C-alpha cells in the first residue's frame, strides 16, 4: 500500500496546461456570475463573491485529490461510494426542499447538494469495479450486473428528489464508461431493448413539470407561455448577442430578467448575449481543449485504472457541457444540468474541481509509474 | 501495490487508443454542432433576434388572481377585493431619472398632491427593470399620470387586486390579513408561490390560503423599451379563488363588537346544537386593510407594542382564570361523585377555615344555609370551597377535562391555546412542589392555576346546554367555487360526550336558569323578557387581594389589576339555540359588566330572529339549521 508519498517528480511533471484551462473557464464563470448578479440588489453576499469562495474551496479539494495517489483513492472507492449513497439517503429523509425538489442538505454553514458529488463518486466506483474485473473479452450482460446496481441505486434516489437531469447524467456516464471498457454487441442490443421498453414505465414516474418540459421540447408551439418561454427567451438572448455581443453588463435580456435561472442552468445564455459569437467560440474552444487534453491523459495513462478514471471524468464534463449548451440553444430538452465551472453552485464547483484534481493525478503519475 | 503490471490482464492499450480516437471525434463533432447552432442564432438570425430583444421585447407577466370572497352565513360579503393602483417606472437607457422624478413632483403640485416616492429608489436603478414608485395611490394621481404620459417616459400605472375588508376591525382577529410573500415564506413554499404573490398572513386568510388564493394567470405581451404594451401575444386567465361561507352571522358579530365598546375582552357566540360559531369578538382589534400595501414600519411597531395586544385573538389565545363560571364543573363533579345531593345544605357565614388560613366568600356577611341549587344561583364561594375540599383537585380535573378544558377545541385557526387544568402530578412535574390543599380551595372557584380560553368556556357550556355533546367549534360552513358549486362542506364534528347523568345535566341547566331569572341570582342583568336565558357569572381575580380591601379596591387599584368580568350563558332553556361567553378584561364584576354585554348579544340574536322570517330561497339556502334535510345531515348523532 502506497500512502501519500511526496515525490518531487509530481511537481516537475505537474500538468500546468490542465490547470490553466480550468482556471480560465472558472474565471470566465466568475465574471459572468458578476453580470447576472448586477441587477440583484438585496442579496446578503453577492453571488460572485460566493462563487469565488467556492472556487477557492474547490482548489483545496483539487490539491487533495491530486496529492493522494489515485491507486490509493481506488482502495477506498467503495467506501467513498457508500458515503455518497448515505448522504443521498440523508437528503431523502432530512433534506431541505426548495423549488419543489428535495435536493439540499443544510449543514448550518452551507447547504450541500450530494447528487452533484454522486457524479464523481460513481466514476470512482465504476473504475474500481472494472479495474478489479479486467477481461480480455467484451463484457456480457451478466458481468455488468454489479455496475448496473452501482448506478441504479443513486439513480433511483436522485429521481425521487426529483432531479431528472442529474439522474439521466448518471446513466449517461455509466453507459459511456461501459461502452468504453467494452461491451458485447449482443448484450448491448439486449440492454438497449430493455431500456426502450422501460421508457413508458419511466414516463409514469415523471413529475408533471418534467413531462411538460419534454413535451414542450417536442412541440414548443403548444406552450409559448410555460416551459417553452424559457427556451424562447434563451434563444432571443443568445441571438441578440450577435457576432460581437452586447458588451459586458449590457445584456438587456439578462439585466431585464427575461432570462430564467440565469445563474444556474441558463448561465450560457447570459454569456452569449453579452460576449456574442466570439465569446461563445472561445468558451466552446476552451471546453474542447479540455476534452482533448482529458482524453490524452486517458490515453497516456500507464494503467487501466488511470485510463478509466480519466475517461470517466472527461466524459462527465463533456456530457454536461453538451447537454447544458444544447438546452439553452434549443437543441436538447430543458433538463436541469448545470454548465461545468460556469453555473452558480458550490457542490458542483467543488466536486468538479476535485475531479480535475484526480485527472491531474492520473496525468502526473504516468511519469512516475513503471509499466 | 500488487498491480504493478496493471494492463497485463486487461485489453490491449491499442484498443483503447482506437476507441479514444473515435470518442474524441464524436466529442468534437458534438461541440462543433453547438458552434454551428451558435453561428446560426447569433450571426444568421442575429439581427432579427436583436430586434426582438432591443426594440420590442416579449415580456412574460403574471396576473394576480382574485382571492375568494369571504361571506357570513347569510351571504353578506365580509371580505371583498378592490383594485390597487401602483405607479411604476421603467428606466430605459439614457433617460434622466432625476428629471422624471422632478416632473412627477411638478405634475402632482398642480393639484397640490404630495409625492411619497422614496428618492433612494433611484439610486439602485438598473435599465429596463421596473421600479414600483408608489403603491396604492388615489384616482387623482392615476389621472394625472395617465394624462401626462407623454411627458413621463417610462412611467405607467399598474393595477393589482388587493383585499378590501368591510367593517374589518370587528372581525379582523378571525379573518386575519394578507400581504406580499416574504423571503422566508418563499423559500419554504416548495414552488407553489412565486415572488410578488399575495398570501394570507394570519387568521382564516392564512388557514384557507390554498383554497381562496386562486391561480396565477400569465400573459405574454410585446412591450417597447418603455415598458408600454404594444401587443398581447396570448394569455392564461387567472383563476379566482374559491369563496368561503362562514358560520358567522355578521349582524350578531356587529352587535357583539359594539357591545364591547371601549373594553378589552372577548365574546364567543355559538350554536350549541352543532358548534357553529355565530360571532367571535376580540377587542381591541386592528384594521386589516392597512396590511394590503405593506404596513408602514411605525404602525407595525405600534401594533406590536400595544400592551392590549390587538393582534391576538383573545377568544382562542387568551387564557383566563374562569372564576365562578367554573363552579358548574365542580357542581357536576360533586353530584356525579355522590358527595352531595341537590338537597344538601351547607351553612355559609362568609368564611371558610382551612388550617390556619381563612378563605372568604365574595359576600362578606355570608349566604346563610344554602343548598346546591341556591349556591349556584347566588354563586356562594363557601359552598364550593367545601365541595372542593371533599373532591380533591384530581377529581375536579377529571370533570374539567370532560368539559373540554385543558385541551384544544380544534377550531380551524392557528394559535389556539390549551389553557390549564391543574392536577397534583402536573404541579409536581412542572413546579417540583407538592400540592397544597389551599390550592384546591382556589381551584374550586375557578381561581389559582386554572386557565381557560373563552372558546373553551363557550364550548363547555354548549355541551351542558344541548344535553351533553361537545361539538368542535367551527368557523367555516362551506367553501364554494365562484359559480356557487360546492367545493367543500364542513359538517359538525363531535369532540366528545359528557359522561354525566341526565338528572345532573337537567339540575345544572335549571340552576343556571335560576341564576339569571330568580331573585338574588347573580346573572340578573342578562335577563330578557319572554326568553328563558340561563347563565353563570364569574369574576376572576387578577391579583390576590385580602378581602378586607375588597370594598375600596375599585378606586385604589390601577386598571390592569381590576378583575376580569365573565358571563357564560345560553338560551332558551329548552332546545337552546345560542351560547354566549363574554370576558371583559379588568372591567369589574361579572354580574355588573359581563352579563349586560351578553344580554345585548342575546337580545340582538332574538330580535334578528323575529325580524327575518326567511325572506327568500337564496338566503334560506345560505343559512343552515332550518332546512330539515340539512339539519339531519349536520347533526348525525342526535
CB-based contact B190 A99, cutoff 8 Å? yes
The answer on pLDDT for B620 being more than 70 is no
Predicted pLDDT at A43: 55
* Average confidence (pLDDT) over B180-199: 74
CB-based contact A256 B129, cutoff 8 Å? yes
CB-based contact A272 B128, cutoff 8 Å? no
CB-based contact B43 A242, cutoff 8 Å? yes
Residues 43-72 (A) with a CB less than 8 A from some CB of B: 71
CB-based contact A281 B17, cutoff 8 Å? no
B118 CB neighbours in chain A (<8 A) are none
Q: What dotted CATH number matches B60-117+130-236?
A: 3.90.1310.10
Residue with cell 453547438: B34
CB-based contact A331 B33, cutoff 8 Å? yes
The CATH architecture of the domain made up of B250-283+316-634 is: 3-Layer(aba) Sandwich (3.40)
A321 CB neighbours in chain B (<8 A) are 31
B219 CB neighbours in chain A (<8 A) are 225
The answer on pLDDT for B520 being more than 80 is yes
Q: In which region does residue B388 sit, left (phi positive, over 0), alpha (psi from -120 to 50) or beta (all else)? A: alpha
Interface residue A326 vs chain B (CB under 8 A)? yes
CB-based contact A239 B233, cutoff 8 Å? no
Predicted pLDDT at B295: 79
A237 CB neighbours in chain B (<8 A) are 53
Predicted pLDDT at A287: 97
* Average confidence (pLDDT) over B193-200: 78
Predicted pLDDT at A102: 72
Nearest chain B Cα to A130, which residue?
Answer: B10
CB A201 within 8 A of CB A147: no
Report chain B's mean pLDDT, rounded to a whole number. 84
Interface residue B552 vs chain A (CB under 8 A)? no
Nearest chain A Cα distance for residue B66, angstroms: 20
Q: Other CB atoms closer than 10 Å to residue B350's CB: what's the count?
A: 18
Residues 331-350 (A) with a CB less than 8 A from some CB of B: 331
Interface residue A284 vs chain B (CB under 8 A)? yes
Nearest chain B Cα distance for residue A2, angstroms: 7
Q: Which of B35, B126, B128 sits opposite A284 (nearest CB)?
A: B35
Predicted pLDDT at B230: 67
Helix intervals (H) in B154-270: 168-175, 183-188, 203-207, 209-212, 250-259
**Per-residue pLDDT band at B552 (split at 50, 70, 90):** very low
Residues 604-623 (B) with a CB less than 8 A from some CB of A: none
CB-based contact A295 B24, cutoff 8 Å? yes
Predicted pLDDT at A38: 56
Q: Which of B20-29, B88-97, B148-157, B450-459 has the lowest average pLDDT? A: B88-97
**Per-residue pLDDT band at B59 (split at 50, 70, 90):** low
Low-confidence ranges of chain A (pLDDT < 70): 1-6, 38-44, 96-101, 108-109, 209-210, 212-229, 252-261, 369-371
Q: Which of A34-38, A155-159, B250-254, B597-601 has the lowest average pLDDT? A: A34-38
Q: Dump pLDDT digits (tens) for B70-92.
A: 999 999 999 999 888 888 887 76
B39 CB neighbours in chain A (<8 A) are 277
Q: Other CB atoms closer than 10 Å to residue A130's CB: what's the count?
A: 24
- CA-nearest of A315, A291, A311, A313 to A303 is A311
Q: Which of A252, A280, A284 sits opposite B128 (nearest CB)?
A: A252
Nearest chain B Cα distance for residue A163, angstroms: 14
Percent of chain B with pLDDT over 70: 85
A75 CB neighbours in chain B (<8 A) are none
For residue A366, report the phi and psi dihedrals to the nearest 5 degrees: -65, -20
CB-based contact B126 A131, cutoff 8 Å? no
Q: Dump pLDDT digits (tens) for B96-149.
A: 778 888 888 888 888 888 877 777 777 666 655 667 788 888 888 888 888 887
Between the CA atoms of A20, A23, A28 and A33, what dihedral angle is there, to the nearest 10 degrees? 180
CB-based contact A318 B31, cutoff 8 Å? yes
Residues 2-61 (B) with a CB less than 8 A from some CB of A: 3-7, 9-11, 13, 15-17, 19-20, 23-24, 27-28, 30-31, 33-35, 37-39, 41-43, 45-50, 52-54, 57-60
- Whether B324 sits among the annotated catalytic residues: the reply is yes
Predicted pLDDT at B627: 40
Predicted pLDDT at A256: 55
Predicted pLDDT at A222: 55
CB B536 within 8 A of CB B376: yes
Predicted pLDDT at A211: 73
A224 CB neighbours in chain B (<8 A) are 220, 233-234
Size of interface A-B (CB pairs under 8 A): 175
Nearest chain B Cα distance for residue A57, angstroms: 26
Active-site option among B266, B282, B324, B442:
B324
- Read off the C-alpha cell for B580: 354566549
Predicted pLDDT at B171: 94
* Average confidence (pLDDT) over B472-499: 90
CB-based contact A322 B34, cutoff 8 Å? yes
- Read off the C-alpha cell for B600: 345585548
B56 CB neighbours in chain A (<8 A) are none
CB-based contact A298 B20, cutoff 8 Å? yes
Percent of chain B with pLDDT over 90: 52
Q: Which of A255, A295, A305 sits opposite B20 (nearest CB)?
A: A295
Locate the domains of chain B by residue range: 60-117+130-236, 250-283+316-634
CB-based contact B7 A371, cutoff 8 Å? yes
CB-based contact A241 B57, cutoff 8 Å? no
Nearest chain A Cα to B91, which residue?
Answer: A256
For residue B265, report the phi and psi dihedrals to the nearest 5 degrees: 160, -160
For residue B205, report the phi and psi dihedrals to the nearest 5 degrees: -55, -35
- In this chain, the answer to whether the domains covering B60-117+130-236 and B250-283+316-634 adopt an identical fold is no
CA B537 to each of CA A349, B327, B449, B455, B502: distance values in angstroms, whole numbers, following the listed order: 71, 10, 19, 16, 24
Q: Cα B391 to chain center, whole Å?
A: 38
Nearest chain B Cα distance for residue A39, angstroms: 7
Global pTM reads 0.61
d(CA B315, CA B90): 48
Amino acid at each position: 500500500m502506497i500512502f501519500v508519498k511526496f515525490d518531487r517528480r509530481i511537481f516537475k511533471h505537474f500538468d500546468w496546461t490542465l490547470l490553466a484551462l480550468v482556471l480560465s473557464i472558472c474565471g470566465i464563470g466568475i465574471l459572468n456570475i458578476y453580470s447576472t448578479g448586477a441587477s440583484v440588489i438585496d442579496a446578503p453576499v453577492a453571488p460572485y463573491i460566493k462563487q469565488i469562495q467556492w472556487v477557492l474551496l474547490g482548489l483545496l479539494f483539487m490539491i487533495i485529490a491530486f496529492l493522494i495517489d489515485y491507486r490509493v483513492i481506488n482502495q477506498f472507492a467503495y467506501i467513498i461510494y457508500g458515503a455518497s449513497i448515505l448522504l443521498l439517503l440523508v437528503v431523502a429523509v432530512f433534506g431541505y426542499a426548495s423549488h419543489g425538489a428535495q435536493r439540499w442538505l443544510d449543514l448550518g454553514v452551507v447547504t450541500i447538494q450530494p447528487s452533484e458529488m454522486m457524479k464523481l463518486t460513481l466514476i470512482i466506483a465504476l473504475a474500481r469495479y472494472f479495474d478489479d474485473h479486467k477481461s480480455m473479452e467484451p463484457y456480457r450482460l451478466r458481468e455488468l450486473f454489479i455496475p448496473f446496481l452501482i448506478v441504479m441505486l443513486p439513480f433511483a434516489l436522485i429521481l425521487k428528489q426529483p432531479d431528472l437531469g442529474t439522474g439521466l447524467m448518471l446513466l449517461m456516464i455509466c453507459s459511456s464508461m461501459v461502452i468504453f471498457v467494452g461491451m458485447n454487441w449482443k448484450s448491448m442490443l439486449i440492454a438497449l431493448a430493455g431500456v426502450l421498453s422501460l421508457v413508458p414505465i419511466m414516463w409514469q414516474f415523471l413529475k408533471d413539470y418534467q413531462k411538460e418540459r419534454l413535451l414542450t421540447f417536442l412541440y414548443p408551439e403548444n406552450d409559448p407561455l410555460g416551459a417553452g418561454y424559457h427556451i424562447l427567451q434563451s434563444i432571443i438572448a443568445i441571438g441578440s448577442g450577435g457576432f460581437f455581443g452586447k458588451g459586458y453588463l449590457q445584456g438587456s435580456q439578462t439585466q431585464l430578467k427575461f432570462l430564467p435561472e440565469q445563474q444556474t442552468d441558463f448561465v450560457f445564455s447570459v454569456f452569449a448575449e453579452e460576449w456574442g459569437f466570439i465569446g461563445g467560440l472561445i468558451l466552446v474552444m476552451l471546453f474542447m481543449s479540455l476534452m482533448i487534453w482529458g482524453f490524452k491523459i486517458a490515453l497516456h495513462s500507464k494503467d487501466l485504472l488511470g485510463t478509466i478514471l480519466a475517461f470517466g471524468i472527461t466524459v462527465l464534463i463533456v456530457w454536461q457541457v453538451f447537454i447544458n449548451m444544447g438546452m439553452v440553444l434549443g437543441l436538447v430538452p430543458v433538463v436541469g444540468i448545470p454548465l461545468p465551472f460556469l453555473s452558480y453552485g458550490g457542490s458542483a464547483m467543488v466536486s468538479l474541481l476535485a475531479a480535475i484534481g484526480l485527472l491531474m493525478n492520473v496525468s502526473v503519475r504516468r511519469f512516475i509509474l513503471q509499466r | 501495490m500488487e498491480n504493478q503490471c496493471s494492463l497485463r490482464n486487461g485489453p490491449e492499450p491499442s484498443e483503447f487508443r482506437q476507441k479514444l480516437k473515435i470518442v474524441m471525434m464524436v466529442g468534437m463533432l458534438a461541440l462543433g454542432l453547438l458552434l454551428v447552432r451558435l453561428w446560426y442564432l447569433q450571426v444568421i438570425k442575429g439581427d432579427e433576434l436583436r430586434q426582438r430583444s432591443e426594440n420590442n421585447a416579449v415580456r412574460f407577466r403574471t396576473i394576480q388572481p382574485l382571492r375568494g370572497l369571504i361571506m357570513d352565513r347569510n351571504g353578506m360579503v365580509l371580505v371583498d377585493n378592490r383594485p390597487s393602483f401602483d405607479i411604476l417606472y421603467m428606466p430605459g437607457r439614457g433617460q434622466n431619472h432625476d428629471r422624471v422624478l422632478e416632473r412627477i413632483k411638478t405634475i402632482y403640485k398642480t393639484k397640490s398632491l404630495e409625492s411619497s416616492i422614496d428618492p433612494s429608489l433611484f439610486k439602485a436603478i438598473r435599465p429596463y427593470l421596473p421600479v414600483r414608485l408608489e403603491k396604492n395611490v388615489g384616482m387623482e394621481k392615476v389621472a394625472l399620470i395617465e394624462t401626462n404620459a407623454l411627458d413621463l417616459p417610462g412611467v405607467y400605472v399598474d393595477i393589482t387586486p388587493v383585499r378590501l375588508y368591510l367593517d374589518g376591525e370587528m372581525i379582523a382577529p378571525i379573518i386575519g390579513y394578507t400581504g406580499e410573500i416574504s423571503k422566508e415564506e418563499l423559500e419554504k413554499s416548495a414552488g407553489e408561490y412565486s415572488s410578488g404573490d399575495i398570501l394570507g398572513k394570519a387568521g382564516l386568510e392564512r388557514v384557507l390560503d390554498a383554497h381562496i388564493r386562486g391561480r396565477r394567470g400569465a400573459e405574454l405581451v410585446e412591450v417597447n423599451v418603455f415598458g408600454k404594451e404594444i401587443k398581447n401575444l396570448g394569455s392564461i386567465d387567472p383563476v379566482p379563488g374559491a369563496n368561503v361561507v362562514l358560520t358567522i352571522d355578521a349582524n350578531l358579530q356587529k352587535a357583539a363588537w359594539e357591545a364591547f365598546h371601549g373594553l378589552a375582552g372577548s365574546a364567543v357566540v355559538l350554536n350549541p346544537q352543532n358548534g357553529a360559531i355565530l360571532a367571535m369578538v376580540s377587542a381591541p382589534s386592528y384594521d386589516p386593510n392597512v396590511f394590503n400595501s405593506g404596513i408602514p414600519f411605525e404602525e407595525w411597531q405600534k401594533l406590536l407594542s400595544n400592551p392590549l395586544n390587538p393582534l391576538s385573538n383573545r377568544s382562542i389565545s387568551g387564557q383566563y382564570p374562569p372564576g365562578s363560571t367554573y363552579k358548574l364543573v365542580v357542581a357536576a363533579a360533586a353530584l356525579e361523585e355522590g358527595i352531595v345531593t341537590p338537597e344538601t345544605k351547607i351553612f355559609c357565614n362568609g368564611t371558610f377555615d382551612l388550617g390556619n388560613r381563612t378563605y372568604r366568600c365574595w359576600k362578606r356577611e355570608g349566604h346563610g344555609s344554602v343548598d346546591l341549587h341556591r349556591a349556584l344561583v347566588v354563586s356562594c364561594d363557601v359552598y364550593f370551597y367545601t365541595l372542593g375540599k371533599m373532591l380533591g383537585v384530581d377529581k375536579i380535573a377529571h370533570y374539567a377535562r370532560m368539559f373540554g378544558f385543558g385541551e384544544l377545541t380544534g377550531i380551524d385557526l392557528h394559535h389556539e391555546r390549551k389553557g390549564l387544568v391543574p392536577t397534583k402530578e402536573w404541579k409536581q412535574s412542572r413546579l417540583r412542589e407538592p400540592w397544597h390543599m389551599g390550592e384546591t380551595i382556589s381551584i374550586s372557584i375557578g381561581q389559582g392555576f386554572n386557565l381557560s380560553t373563552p372558546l373553551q368556556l363557550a364550548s363547555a357550556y354548549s355541551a351542558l346546554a344541548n344535553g351533553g355533546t361537545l361539538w368542535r367549534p367551527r368557523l367555516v360552513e362551506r367553501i364554494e367555487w365562484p359559480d356557487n358549486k360546492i367545493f367543500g362542506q364542513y359538517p359538525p364534528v363531535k369532540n366528545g360526550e359528557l359522561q354525566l347523568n341526565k338528572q345532573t345535566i337537567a339540575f345544572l341547566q335549571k340552576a343556571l336558569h335560576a341564576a339569571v331569572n330568580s331573585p338574588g341570582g347573580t346573572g340578573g342583568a342578562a335577563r330578557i323578557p319572554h326568553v328563558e336565558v340561563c347563565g353563570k357569572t364569574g369574576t376572576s381575580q387578577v391579583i390576590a387581594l385580602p378581602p378586607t380591601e375588597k370594598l375600596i379596591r375599585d378606586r385604589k387599584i390601577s386598571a390592569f389589576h381590576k378583575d376580569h368580568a365573565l358571563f357564560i350563558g345560553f338560551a332558551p332553556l329548552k332546545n337552546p339555540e345560542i351560547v354566549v361567553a363574554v370576558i371583559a378584561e379588568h372591567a369589574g364584576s361579572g354580574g355588573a359588566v359581563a352579563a349586560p354585554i351578553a344580554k345585548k348579544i342575546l337580545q340582538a340574536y332574538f330580535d334578528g330572529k323575529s325580524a327575518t322570517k326567511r325572506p327568500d330561497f337564496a338566503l334560506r339556502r345560505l343559512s343552515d339549521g332550518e332546512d330539515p334535510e340539512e339539519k339531519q345531515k349536520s347533526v348525525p348523532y342526535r
